[in-house]
Every structure is written in C-alpha cells, then in structure tokens.
C-alpha cells in the first residue's frame, strides 16, 4: 500500500466516520451471531476446563 493510499483511507474514514463506525458495529454483531451459530452446530469436543484438569492431573480419563 502506498502512502497516498494510506492517506486516502484515513481521509475516507474521517469524512465518513459515522457510516464506517455503523458498518463495523454491524459486522461485529454479525460475526458474533455467526460464532454462536457455529458453536451451536459444532460444539467444542474439549473445553478449557478439561484441558486445565488434564494439565493439573485432575482428569481421571486422561493419562500423561
């Protein structure tokens, strides 16, 4: 990206801040919804708690 393109992108943002911020907020909501749908369809097979239990030797189903 050239310096002129960087300046153009910054200028665009500064002149269209409300629209850009609205777009970004909308995309964040959509991303969160897609993540929830993905998690519902493909739940993690292993959780953080399970990993910590394995690490600490507290998981009876896991042998090091």
Q: What integer pLDDT is reported at residue 47 of this predicted model? A: 82
Q: What integer pLDDT is reported at residue 64 of this predicted model? A: 59
For the chain, how long is the longest CA-to-CA vector?
A: 60
Q: Which domain holds residue 37?
A: 3-55
| pLDDT band (50, 70, 90) for residue 10 | very high
Domain assignment of residue 25, yes or no: yes
Residue 61 contacts residue 55 (beta carbons within 8 Å): no
Query: What 8-state DSSP symbol labels residue 62?
Result: -
Domain assignment of residue 63, yes or no: no
* Number of domains making up the chain: 1
Ramachandran class of 63: left when φ > 0, alpha when ψ lies in -120 to 50, beta otherwise: beta
**pLDDT by residue (tens digit) across 20-48?**
999 999 999 999 999 999 989 888 787 88
Find how far residue 31's CA is from the centre of its chain: 7
Residue 57 contacts residue 64 (beta carbons within 8 Å): yes
């Amino acid at each position: 990206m050239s310096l002129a393109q960087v300046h153009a992108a910054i200028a665009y943002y500064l002149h269209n801040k409300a629209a850009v911020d609205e777009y970004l907020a909308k995309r964040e909501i959509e991303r969160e919804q897609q993540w929830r749908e993905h998690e519902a369809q493909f739940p993690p097979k292993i959780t953080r708690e399970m990993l910590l239990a394995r690490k600490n030797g507290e998981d009876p189903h896991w042998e090091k």
